[in-house]
């Protein structure tokens, strides 16, 4: 049985219940599908080789240590057709990356980090 490798874009904090729920949820889904899954948390303020992952998950728990690091991972998934999902702040960052990169809304910002931005997601 092949192991599905999922990279989790986010800054893991064991005291954050949404991070623990992310881990448990992915393991639960894998068990229900009778597949093996290997997850790796990918800190947003570090460089990562994303090519070896079968899918990426943009985690809840923003703001991230590096907004650009999170957006770079999301952009990699979009440009390389890597399956990507995000929950809570992770989903908001997916929308932000799309607004900036595809819709060319250069001043698009995240309301959590820039609540007074002219264009916020």
Nearest to 58 by CA among 46, 45, 79, 42: 42
Residue 19 tokens, joined: 């991070």
Per-residue confidence in pLDDT tens, the chain, 121 aa: 789 999 999 999 999 999 999 999 999 999 999 999 999 999 999 999 999 999 999 999 989 999 999 999 999 999 999 999 999 999 999 999 999 999 999 888 888 888 888 776 6
Nearby residues of 87 by Cβ (< 8 Å), 6 or more positions away: 18, 22, 57, 58, 59, 60
- What is the pLDDT at residue 120? 66
Residue 103 tokens, joined: 């819709």
Residue 59 · residue 77 · CB < 8 Å: no
- What is the pLDDT at residue 117? 80
> Domains (ranges, CATH) in the chain?
3-89 (3.40.50.11410)
Residue 121 · residue 92 · CB < 8 Å: yes
- What is the pLDDT at residue 121? 61
């Amino acid at each position: 049985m092949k192991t599905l490798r999922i990279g989790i874009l986010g800054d893991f904090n064991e005291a954050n219940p949404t991070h623990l729920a992310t881990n448990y949820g992915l393991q639960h889904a894998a068990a229900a599908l009778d597949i093996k899954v290997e997850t790796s948390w990918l800190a947003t303020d570090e460089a990562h080789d994303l090519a070896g992952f079968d899918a990426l998950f943009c985690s809840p728990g923003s703001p991230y240590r590096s907004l650009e690091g999170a957006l770079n991972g999301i952009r990699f998934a979009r440009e390389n057709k890597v399956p990507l999902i995000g929950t809570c702040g992770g989903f908001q960052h997916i929308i932000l990356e799309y607004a900036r990169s595809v819709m060319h809304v250069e001043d698009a910002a995240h309301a959590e980090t820039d609540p007074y931005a002219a264009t916020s997601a």
